[in-house]
Chains A and B, each alone.
Chain A
Amino acid sequence: MRLYIEVARKSFRRFATYRGAVLGGVFTNTIFGMIHAYVLLGVHAEREFVNGFDASDAVTFVFGAQALLMVVRAFGWDELGQRLRTGDIASDLQRPADVQAWWIAQFVGMSAFYVIFRGLPPFIGGWLVFDEVSLPGPAALFWFVVTATLAAGLAGAYWFAVNMIAYWIIEVRGVVMAFSLMIMFFGGVIVPLWFLPDALLDAFRLTPWAAMVQLPGEVLIGSRDVAACLRVVGLQLFWLSALVGAGRVLLSTATRRLVVQGG
């Protein structure tokens, strides 16, 4: 366990070296959050509630979602896939560590960096610009931290499994983009899921993608009581174990017939 904590810490520090990228990313996340927020305010100028959520909920949610984007790498993550393509994966397999745990630890270390340096600033920016953004109370904040942490682990397991597909098709970018799209849409990044008809909303809230962004976002705006927060945690744990399982199956199938590219 100590090894993987160290991997996560190193990964955190690795991302801390790209200062310009962080600054630029924060700026871009803030601008996108503002465009989303303005559009949703345009909607709420016409009607007060959408499915029980008001303008303040919508705008706060938007900046919460922007804060989570990089934490779960909603735009995609293909570092492992590239290593599979180039054959660098061979050196990962030689380490006296579990390949899956190693990469998920790396991912979570990166997420921890992103939540502080790419998540918090756009949220504060949104709070400064929009009166409608409300800061979470202590309870909402606590549950947000819990669900955001689980979302990071879940995303790590998710992207590990998706990247493993590269073992069979080599060029993984298209697949990564397709799986990224799932987070963008079913995670409620494009538009909060409560804009969907009720039947779809209830079904989509059960997906792993909703568990990555939409549900932690709903927790952040304080729209859920303790029982509901626990249900979110339960759902996240379910998907975490399912995706870790899927990643393990893919990894063991792959290593059993390994041919290192360029090898």
Chain B
Amino acid sequence: MAGARLWRHLVGARVRSEWQYRASFFALFTASLLFSLTDFVAVVLVFEQVPSIADWSIAEVAFLYGTGVTAAALADATIGAVESVPDRIRLGTFDRLLVRPAPALLQIVGDDFALRRFGKVLQSAVILGVAIAAVDVEWTVARAAMIPLMIISGTSLFTSIWIVSNSVAFWFTDTREAANSVTYGGSYLSQYPLAVYGRWFRRLFAVAVPISFVNYLPALFVLQRPTDLGFAPWMRFASPLVALLALIVAAQVWALGIRHYRSTGS
């Protein structure tokens, strides 16, 4: 409870400070919204040329885009600040967090909170809404309920991916760039049906980094598509469980990293 209060306090301070540079705030909010929109423009342009990709229609790909990017953007907006960890460790400012009487992760996500990151959430949620209206599906309660469930588990999965990939910095220096490959790369990967990717690439980035559970597998259920690519049908419903496991792993890795942490000594 004290944690939640501290978080609200820190976030409030950040929002007020962001609000000081108002023109810049709107520029950044709009730019981040447009930035992620261009990915969808690419989807539209691609479907101008072909009616389907790997047998998926534009509405179905838009559904993948909407669910995948909304989850990634929500994770980015809430936990994304953890990407400052590699720089904090390198610069030695991470020490400062450890001497304060509050969890380090909480301080980081409160300290670097940025309201403008929600531009992306707004944009992808709109696309998701349009996609839900456009897909050809016999809606049932179970299918409809799967959508919020996959957003929640997808957000948790991306949250874990953000934490684990940035925790690598506790053992190796200068890892911020590499972390982008699974955080932003994962978000990008989730926008298209997995069948387009090569087999080993799919195994590495969709299964080992569990992106397939973010949206592809539950989407197979929602969109009434057959389970393919060697996945078992029950996996379509496993996302919440996988997300929970991922969060536990992420918490462990983070705790291990903190314990392993030796200051730069400079």
Query: A residues near B, CB below 8 A?
Result: 18-25, 27-28, 31-32, 34-35, 38-43, 45-47, 50, 129, 169-175, 177-178, 181, 184-185, 190-191, 195-197
Q: Please give me the residue from chain B that is nearest to A197 by CB atom.
A: B48
Q: What range describes how many residues of B lie at the interface?
A: 35 or more
**Contact partner, A175, options B27, B54, B174, Cβ 8 Å:** B27
- Known contacts A21-B177, A190-B39; A42/B54 CB under 8 A: yes
List, sorted by A's number, 12 A–B pairs whose CB atoms are closer than 8 Å: A23-B177, A24-B178, A27-B181, A28-B180, A39-B46, A42-B53, A46-B49, A171-B21, A171-B24, A173-B24, A177-B35, A190-B42
Q: Among the listed B50, B177, B180, which residue makes an inter-chain contact with A43, where contact means beta carbons less than 8 Å apart?
A: B50
Name A195's contact: one of B45, B54, B175, B180 (CB within 8 Å).
B45
Q: Which 10 A-B pairs have the closest CB atoms?
A: A20-B174, A174-B27, A24-B178, A24-B177, A177-B31, A42-B196, A46-B50, A174-B28, A171-B24, A28-B181
Q: In the complex, are the beta carbons of B174 and A18 less than 8 A apart?
A: yes
Number of A-B contacts (CB under 8 A): 123
Return chain B residues, CB-CB under 8 Å to A38: 192, 196-198, 201
B178 touches A28 (CB 8 A): yes
> Complex: how many Å from CA A190 to CA B23?
27
> B178: nearest residue on chain A (CB-CB)?
A24
Q: Is chain B's binding surface mostly helix, strand, loop or mixed?
A: helix
A21 to B175, CA, bound (A): 6
Chain A contacts for B52, CB-based, 8 A = 46
| Chain A contacts for B223, CB-based, 8 A | none
Given the known inter-chain contacts A23-B178, A24-B177, A174-B28, please indicate yes or no for A35 contacting B46, CB distance below 8 A: no
Question: Per-residue 0/1 for B198-222: is the Cβ within 8 Å of any A Cβ (1 yes, 0 no)?
Answer: 1001000100000000000000000
Question: In the bound complex, what is the Cα–Cα distance between A22 and B185 (angstroms)?
Answer: 17
